[in-house]
Amino acid sequence: MYFLCLSFISLFLKKLSSKPFSLYECLHKIGITKFVFPGQIQTICRTVVSSPFSGETATLQHLIQGLKVNLLPIFHSQQRWLWLSVERSLRWSFSSTQCLTYVNSFFVIQNLLSLAGWLTASEEGDYSILAAVLSCEASFFTTLRDMRPLGKVLCATGIIAVLLAFFWKDTFNPESLSGARVLLTGASGGIGEQMAYHYARFGAEILLTARREAVLQKVMEKCLTLGAKKTFYIPADMSSPSEPEKVVQFAVQKLGGLDYLVLNHIGISPFQMWNGDVEYTRWLMQVNFFSYVALATAALPTLEKNKGSLVVVSSLTGKIPTPFTTSYSATKFALDGFFSSLRHELIMQKRNISVTLCILGLIDTDTALEKTRGKVYLTASPAAEAALAIIQAGATKVQEVFYPWWLQHTCSLWVLFPCHRNQVLQSFYNYSSP
């Protein structure tokens, strides 16, 4: 799959040169259209060359179809679900190249590194194609030579990450979750509901909690049909300081202990400018932060006994302050600070409990889409995929996971280039400085 990496590198560098250059033309120049485009689709795609961008959507559809035909058979049998990530990354890469101005170099690294996730799914590679690509006149190395130093650094970083990903082994073992005892909060909808279904498919024993009892009962019933060994639920309002301890005690009583505590619930958060409502902020801190601390504190003894995992679902707004999320962002920054510090303290005390912080971007839940419509210019990621990423991160005991993948590089660039922060946010939220 190295040939695909180099083709997209060439594409993005050409885009940055502000010269019209179609997707098909880029692929055709490096001689791989016969491989990625099945049958007579090549003929259809040739019409795009004379009118760049006008037919790019059709070209992209054919590229995806070609990849499915040629690459899907070599994916691991247990990792076919990764194809969804491949397709979404490809679509996002295409869309981002057409709407960038100031932040071109910022997105180059994101698009290059998206290929890293794809390569983890393949054990095979066609090195003859790689050799052909390296020997052809695709203008990649010429363009790289003429780039500014920052662009070279970003591209080099992307290439290295892609190559390293090819040798990176996925340590997630689905069987490790069979019989695992899981307390999952915020399980009545959105990401929490999807996590419940994934845990059920893996054969876990699950205790669900949220405010809406009727919905919880339906989720529990579906979990049982999907293969959960045991499923219980307890309705709870986390705005009440006494509820977290009761929930943990109930979970330990029903499941006999905990292997995973997954903290996912959130309070209702309007997506709007700060209106001075301090009481609301206090309430939201109780739901989004203090209840997390109380739940974790109550569960630490049983998690330590079982060498368990504490999984905390947070947000990009806990790493990067954004408009319209003043109170919500404050709660997520608090989560990041508290649980990152707690992780170090547990390590210092040699207590065998892992702490995983999950940094999520915009997810396609009904609530999130309704709040951000017309305000945020980002593509929402699937809740089911986000849920699976969280579960895998907790099972493999990683310290942090970012979903979508490119949020990690967004946060890194946010720290490395503070002078450009305003421009990046303005590009996402479509506003200008006074």
- Domain C-terminal end among 167, 194, 212: 167
Residue whose token pair is 């060498």: 307
Check if the beta carbon of residue 83 is closer than 8 Å to that of residue 75. yes
Check if the beta carbon of residue 331 is closer than 8 Å to that of residue 285. yes
Instruction: Note every long-range contact of 248-252, with CB atoms under 8 Å and residues 24 or more positions apart, other chains counting.
Output: 248/183, 248/295, 248/298, 248/299, 248/302, 249/298, 250/207, 251/181, 251/183, 251/207, 251/299, 252/302
Catalytic (active site) residue 431: no
Count how many domains the chain has: 2
Q: What is the pLDDT of residue 140?
A: 46
Mark whether 209 and 244 lie in a shared domain: yes
Q: What is the pLDDT of residue 34?
A: 40
Q: What is the pLDDT of residue 400?
A: 94
DSSP string over 264-296: --------S-----HHHHHHHHIIIIIHHHHHH
Please tell me the total number of residues recorded for the chain in this structure.
434
Tell me: the pLDDT tens digits for 148-174?
A: 565 555 566 655 555 555 445 567 888
Q: What is the pLDDT of residue 419?
A: 73
Mark whether 106 and 210 lie in a shared domain: no
Q: What is the pLDDT of residue 349?
A: 96
State the CATH number of the domain containing residue 353. Answer: 3.40.50.720
Q: What is the pLDDT of residue 6?
A: 44
pLDDT beneath 50: ranges in the chain: 1-57, 59-60, 71, 74-83, 85-86, 89-141, 166-167
432 in a structural domain: no
54 in a structural domain: yes
Mark whether 130 and 186 lie in a shared domain: no
Mark whether 222 and 114 lie in a shared domain: no
Tell me: the pLDDT tens digits for 54-78?
A: 344 454 455 555 555 554 554 444 4
DSSP string over 378-421: SPPBPHHHHHHHHHHHHHHT-SEEEESTTHHHHHHHHHH-GGGH
Torsion sign over Cα 392, 395, 397, 400: positive
Tell me which of 292, 328, 429, 431 is the catalytic residue.
Answer: 328
Secondary structure (3-state) at 374: coil
Q: What is the pLDDT of residue 343?
A: 97
